[in-house]
């Protein structure tokens, strides 16, 4: 039997794409997707029992409380799921490769084009708990942290990708107000999955940035997705962080992915290029 690879959060966007692409990208692994229905990750005893039973040789940890509003509303739950769970899994996996999915939001966005060596400065509960989990994971020399940006594509529940959220808003007749001065590097989740499987096969633990190579504003991203769905008559209008009254937002968390790109067999695409070359994909 091939060695087992656990994929936590397999019901989410990145986790589902990792599971879907495993036969193609990692045929030497037996990928097991763990959804909330299959295993309650907050039950640490149950997680340990299943780990001891199945003895995975790799863990790709995608599960998290990642919605910022939910984290701000319940910081205790955010710490339980983002920090304590990650620490528990990393401890179980102390003798095997462990990959933790982090976020570009560990940076405050004042600089942009961040490298792995740049200091983190999280602004909210989600970012702060993720940054803390990063430090725990990287304390294990054989473990890996992947910082990624906005991931797009199709998720099992239809509401986990940024493009799905936009499409749902337009289907409900809403006009989206999108910032022209907040920048990310969006990437399709399928590309993220392919890159992670390639990295997992190279035994090169450490910290990596994984994002699209195109820096786009929220408004530019909205324009690209709107062009994809003209039948919805999508409505967007420009906005600015200067007029935003909510919790602090990072203006530019674009990532420099040079380190990871040097290890991959394919170029990381920009969103514009990807959409042009995949016209039939329901993005």
Q: Quick one: average pLDDT of 156-170? A: 95
> Is residue 277 included in any domain, yes or no?
no
Q: How many domains does the chain have?
A: 1
> Is residue 221 included in any domain, yes or no?
no
Considering only 16-20, 39-43, 55-59, 216-220, which range has the smallest mean pLDDT?
39-43
> Is residue 233 included in any domain, yes or no?
no
> Is residue 81 included in any domain, yes or no?
yes
Buried residues in 97-108 as b, exposed as e (16+ CB within 10 A): bbbbbbbbbbbb
pLDDT > 90: percent of the chain:
94
3-state secondary structure of 56: coil
Confidence of residue 1 (pLDDT cuts 50, 70, 90): confident
> Is residue 19 included in any domain, yes or no?
yes
Q: What is the CATH number of the domain that holds 134?
A: 3.40.50.720
Tens digit of each residue's pLDDT (9 = 90 or more) over 83-117: 999 999 999 999 999 999 999 999 999 999 999 99
Query: Domain containing 79: what range?
Result: 4-157+187-214+253-270
Q: Quick one: average pLDDT of 180-186? A: 98
Answer yes or no: is pLDDT of 282 > 90: no
Q: Is residue 117 classed exposed, middle or buried when 0-12, 13-18 and 19+ CB atoms within 10 A define those classes?
A: exposed
> Is residue 224 included in any domain, yes or no?
no
């Amino acid at each position: 039997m091939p060695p087992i690879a656990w994929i936590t959060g397999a019901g989410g966007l990145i986790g589902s794409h990792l599971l879907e692409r495993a036969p193609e990208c990692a045929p030497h692994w037996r990928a097991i997707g763990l959804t909330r229905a299959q295993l309650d990750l907050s039950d640490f005893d149950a997680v340990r029992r299943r780990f001891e039973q199945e003895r995975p040789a790799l863990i790709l940890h995608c599960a998290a409380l990642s919605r910022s509003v939910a984290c701000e509303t319940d910081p205790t739950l955010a710490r339980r799921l983002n920090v304590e769970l990650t620490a528990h899994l990393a401890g179980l996996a102390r003798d095997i490769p462990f990959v933790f999915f982090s976020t570009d939001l560990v940076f405050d966005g004042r600089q942009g084009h961040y490298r792995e060596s740049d200091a983190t400065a999280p602004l909210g509960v989600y970012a702060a708990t993720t940054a803390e989990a990063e430090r725990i994971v990287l304390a294990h020399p054989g473990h890996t942290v992947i910082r990624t940006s906005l991931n797009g594509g199709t998720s099992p529940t239809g509401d986990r990708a940024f493009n799905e959220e936009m499409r749902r808003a337009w289907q409900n007749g809403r006009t989206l107000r999108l910032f022209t001065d907040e920048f990310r590097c969006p990437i399709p989740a399928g590309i993220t999955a392919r890159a992670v499987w390639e990295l997992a096969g190279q035994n090169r633990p450490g910290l990596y940035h994984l994002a699209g190579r195109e820096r786009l504003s929220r408004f530019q991203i909205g324009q690209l997705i709107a062009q994809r769905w003209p039948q919805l008559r999508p409505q967007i209008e420009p906005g600015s962080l200067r007029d935003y009254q909510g919790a602090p937002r990072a203006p530019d968390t674009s990532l420099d992915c040079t380190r990871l790109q040097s290890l991959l067999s394919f170029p990381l695409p920009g969103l514009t290029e990807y959409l042009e070359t995949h016209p039939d994909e329901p993005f």
